[in-house]
Amino acid sequence: MDLNEALYTTRAMRRVSSEPVPPDVVQSMLDAAIRSPSGGNSQNWRWLTVTDRSTVRELGVLYAEAWVELNETFYKGAREAALDRGDETTLRVLSSSQWLADNFHRVPLVVLVYNRNDPSGASIFPGVWSMMLAARGHGVGTTLTTLLGMFKQTEVADLLGVPLDKGWQNAAAIPCGYPLGRWGLAERAPVHDVVYEERWGEQPEWRVEEALWTESSLGL
Ligand SMILES: Cc1cc2nc3c(=O)[nH]c(=O)nc-3n(C[C@H](O)[C@H](O)[C@H](O)COP(=O)(O)O)c2cc1C
């Protein structure tokens, strides 16, 4: 797959089918993940794959509870505010997130990512993102989720036998599966709005009004 296509279209792909992800594809995703950099090449990570139906169901129950907690705390009033503003993007994210909370138990594969001795928390996400890009290359959709680590750290550790007392922490849980929908370009605020040159607040003279990669870049 074209590198830019993977970079521009690897999205939160929450709506996935229950079709299993073959072992060779899982191995390829994880082998790509562990090629990523970590501070001092410390590789303080563990990647726990879960496909067992009853364990995924239990994770689904915990995920749905965590989603409710998120909506009662950090996301409190978010839906109403988005409705008032007519903010379609946020409403789409909330609706797709609700779908995942309602269907987490059906996902064929969940990769739980653990790190330790990573005070900045920055050593784990290059690997997470590499895994998601590798999955994209195989046509497998992924979603980076942090809700289980935020709200259900102990419950998930009890379920999976994770030794929290040895310093391991859940950094992310990544449901993976074959997409029910289509891949699309990630829409973002334009790059010139979020880049400064030389000094804070100094916007560049250049502008990039449209994404520099589009599907037509592939010449299809
Ligand atoms: C650090 C981080 C945590 C996230 N946690 C969750 C989560 O717990 N649940 C979820 O459904 N999506 C989660 N997401 C996915 C984002 O909501 C999503 O990537 C963002 O809305 C942009 O959408 P896109 O990836 O489809 O372009 C998370 C993303 C990041 C980077």
- Tell me, in angstroms, the distance from the centre of ligand 1 to residue 146's CA: 8
pTM above 0.75, yes or no: yes
Q: How far apart are CA 14 and CA 99, in angstroms?
A: 7
87, 95, 145: residue to mutate for ligand 1 pocket, most atoms within 8 A of CB: 145
Q: Is the CB of 12 under 6 A from ligand 1?
A: yes
pLDDT number for residue 218: 77
129 Cβ neighbours under 8 A, 6+ residues apart: 36, 144
Position 7 in a domain: yes
Q: Which domain holds residue 113?
A: 3-183
Q: How far apart are CA 74 and CA 175, in angstroms?
A: 22
pLDDT number for residue 78: 87
Query: What CATH code is carried by the domain that includes residue 90?
Result: 3.40.109.10
pLDDT number for residue 212: 95
pLDDT number for residue 220: 59
Position 191 in a domain: no
- Give the total number of structural domains in the chain: 1
Q: Which residues of the chain have pLDDT under 50?
A: none
